[in-house]
Structure 1
Amino acid sequence: MLTITTKPFKALTTQELYDLLQLRSEVFVVEQDCVYQDLDGKDRKALHVLGYKDSELVAYTRLFNAGDYFEEASIGRVVVRQTERQHKYGYDIMKASIDAIKLNHNTSVIRISAQCYLIKFYNNLGFEEVGEEYLEDGIPHVNMVFNGLN
């Protein structure tokens, strides 16, 4: 079971920031073999959702208010440590992220830029594809929207 906490950037401890950057790098840069600029300057505006198993960060997302990233509120940098995926923590961290957007940003309309191989995962959470597939950092993506009615 995950212990999930949500914090604005300024409330993150140095250790939490290090852990979330390490997890993002471990998955998005090393595992997916994708060289990209993870430190994009947007973390300061985001709410950070941290999922801990015992004292280890194993799942993470960052959340944006409408207009800060997309026109709608959004969830990004969705990540679960590879060795922990069999526990379905992706669902736990995403459900907590959807709830945090409803609570903190007073909306339930959420847009994400999803890696295409995860479409069914996001469909299971109530997201639907909108628009055409596109490449982002060499990886096929598609925009998906959660309308809050699901």
Structure 2
Amino acid sequence: MWYVKKLEQLTSREFYDLLKLRIETFIVEQERIYQELDEQDLLALHIFHRDEAGKLDAYGRLFEDGEDLVFGRVLTSLTSRGQGLGGQLVEKILTEAERRWPGRQIRIKAQEQVVGLYQKYGFEISGPSLILEGTPHLPMIYKIKNKP
């Protein structure tokens, strides 16, 4: 089941689970050393999925940054990869962005290995490769359609 919540709507267990999965993915699995918890968590919409057993298996966060929207910390659990959940997560993020902020632009920094996923949804590379927390990323943009 999919959920979209602001920080103050998350239960303490939900917040624990999403931070645990983010740390497992970005800090432990990808061996990146950086401050995982940041001020954006206070502003973001936390979009996540729990499987039938209640285990958190996909997560991303979406927030405003000036005139643009930004999303990040996009992940699927190691045991759930390759099942289309990442694509479903991107669709949920875009649907939420379009519903709340029609006509806005989304700006992301995508890890190079997942650029193709975002291109399937209409994202375009908008600049040269850059290194963030020791990992190559590409800046990308997506223009949200105006509501009719």
Shared fold (TM-score greater than 0.5)?
yes
Counterparts of residues 34-113 of structure 1 (less than 5 Å): 34-54=32-52, 55-67=54-66, 71-113=67-109
Is the partner of 1:65 in helix, strand or coil?
Answer: strand
Counterparts of residues 15-26 of structure 1 (less than 5 Å): 15-26=13-24
| 1:87-108 CA-partner distances (Å, limit 9, x unpaired) | 1100011100111111123345
Q: Determine the C-alpha separation between the residues in 2 that align with 1:115 and 1:75.
A: 13
Q: Determine the C-alpha separation between the residues in 2 that align with 1:17 and 1:5.
A: 12
Counterparts of residues 106-125 of structure 1 (less than 5 Å): 106-125=102-121
Partners of 1:73 and 1:107 within 8 A in 2? no
What displacement does 1:66 show?
Answer: 4.1
1:138 maps to amino acid: G
State, as a whole percentage, how many aligned pairs show the same letter. 35
Q: Determine the C-alpha separation between the residues in 2 that align with 1:144 and 1:15.
A: 33
- Report the aligned-residue RMSD: 1.2
Is the partner of 2:81 in helix, strand or coil?
Answer: helix
Residue 128 of structure 1 corresponds to 124
Contiguous gaps of at least 5 residues in structure 2: none
Contiguous gaps of at least 5 residues in structure 1: none
2:38 maps to amino acid: D
What displacement does 1:109 show?
Answer: 2.0
The normalised TM-score by structure 2 is 0.92
Q: Determine the C-alpha separation between the residues in 2 that align with 1:39 and 1:98.
A: 23
